[in-house]
Amino acid sequence: MVDNKVSSDLLRGHTDTMILKLLMNGDKYGYEISKLIQANSKSEYELKESTMFSSLKRLENDGNVTSYWGDETQGGRRRYYRITEKGKGTYFDNKKNWEHAKRILDQLL
Amino acid sequence: MNDKLMRYLDGVFSPYEDSHRVKELKEELYVYLQEKLSDFKNQGHDDETAYRLTIDSIGDVKEIIESISAKTKELQQVIRHDLSMNNLQDADLTGVSVREGKFDASALKGSDFSTSGLSNSSYKCSDLKNVRFDGADLTGATFNMSDLENVRFNGADLTGASFNMSDLKNASFDGANLTEAKFSMSSLGNASFKNCILDNTKFSVSDVSGICFDNLTLNNTLFDKSSLTGTSFRNAVLRNVSFKISFKTKKSISKAIFDGATMDKLTYAVLKGLNADLTNVTVI
C-alpha cells in the first residue's frame, strides 16, 4: 500500500489514464477495474471507489468512454464501460505527456 | 446483509433520489458493494466485519454523486425545496443550499442559516424572529409580511433582495451588501447598518426614524416617502441620494442629522429645499 500522501496524490492524478489503459483491452465493470488496478500494482496501490467512480463519470461526460448495463441473470446488473475512439486518443496523449514529464523529472531529481 | 447495504445506500442517496442518472449510479454501486462484500466474506470475515469493511472502503460517496451532478439539471431541482408551512424552529441549517427555496408561512424562529446559499428564496408571512443569516447568499430573496425582529444579516449578500411590509426591529445588517435591495412599507426601528453597502438601495414608505447611517457611502440610495426623524448620516458620503418626501414625512427631514456629511450638489440642493439642517456639511 502507498502510505505516502504525495505519491498517492501523484498516482491519483493519473486515474483517468489507468482506467483508459485497462479499457483498451476490452470492456470492464467497476469492481473489475478496481481489482485489476490492485492486482496490476501488486497491491501497492488501491483505488478508492470515490476516485474511480468520479473518474468514470468524468470520462463518460467527456466522451472518452461509454457505458451500458450487462445482461447478468442472477444478482444485480453490472454496468460496463467501453473506451471510445476519442478515449483511445486521450490515452495515447496522456501516456505521451507522462513519458515526457518522467524524462524531465528523471533528469531533475 | 444485502438489505443492509441497500439501506445504507438509501440513506446516502436520499437527498438525490429524483434523478434517473443518480438512480443508475445507486444501482451500479449496489452491485459493486455486493461483490466487494462477498469477497470479504470469502476471505474469511464474518458478516458484520465484511459489511463494515465494505462500507469503510467506499470513501466519500457524495463525491461520486456530485461528479455527475454538475451536468444534471434534474439534480438542481431537488434543492428547489418547497418548505412552506413547516416548523423549523431553532433548526441548525448552517451552510445548506436551498436556492429558490420557498419558506412561506414557516416558523423559523431562532434558526441558523449562516453561510447558507439561499439566493432567490422566498419568505412570506413567516416567523423569522432571531434567525441568523450571517454570511448567507440571499441575492434576490424576498421577505413579505414577515416578522424579522432581531434577525442578523451580518455580512450577508442581499443584492436585489426585497423586504415588503416586514417588521425589521433590531435587525442587524452590519457589513451586508444591500445593493439594489428594496425596503417598502417596512418598519426598521433600531436596525443596524454598520459598514454595509447601500448602492441603489430603495427605502420606500418605510420608517427609518432613528436609524444610523453614520460613516457610510450612499450611492443612488432612495428614500421615498420615508420617515426620517432622528435618522443620522454623520460623516456619511451621499451621492445622488434622493429624498422624495410626502406631505406626511416632510417635517421629519428637518430632524435628520447630516453633521459632517459630504454630498454632491444636487443632493444638497434637494435637502436644502426641504429645510434639512445642513450645518457642517461639505459639498463636492
pLDDT at residue B178, rounded to an integer: 93
At B76 the pLDDT is: 43
Please give, rounded to a whole number of angstroms, the shortest distance from the CA of B76 to a CA of chain A: 17
List of residues 6+ apart from A41 with CB closer than 8 A:
none
Which set of grid coordinates corresponds to residue B7?
Answer: 439501506
For residue A74, the chain B residue with the least C-alpha distance is B31
- Residue A3: predicted pLDDT: 57
Indicate the pLDDT class of residue A56, thresholds 50, 70 and 90.
Answer: very high
Shortest CA distance to B270 belongs to which of B242, B249, B251?
B242
Mutate to test the interface with A, among B34, B39, B64, B66 (most CBs of A within 10 A): B64
- The number of C-alpha atoms within 13 Å of A42 and in the hemisphere containing its C-beta is 0
The torsion defined by the Cα of A84, A88, A89 and A94, in degrees rounded to 10, comes to 130
Q: What's the mean pLDDT in A15-25?
A: 95
Partner-chain contact A54 B25, CB within 8 Å: no
For the ranges A49-58, A94-103, B145-154, the one whose mean pLDDT is highest = A94-103
Q: pLDDT tens digits, residue range B114-129?
A: 777 777 888 877 778 8
Is B63 near chain A, with CB under 8 Å?
yes
Of residues A29 and B22, which shows the higher confidence score? A29
Please give the average pLDDT of every successive group of 10 residues along chain B, which has 284 residues: 81 70 85 90 92 80 69 41 56 61 68 77 80 86 85 90 87 92 86 90 86 90 86 90 78 87 88 87 86
- This model of the complex carries an ipTM of 0.85
The reported pLDDT for the residue numbered A45 is 86
Give the separation between CA B244 and CA B260, rounded to whole angstroms: 22
Name the CATH architecture for the domain at A5-108: Orthogonal Bundle (1.10)
B2 touches A at CB < 8 Å:
no
A16 — pLDDT class (breaks 50, 70, 90): very high
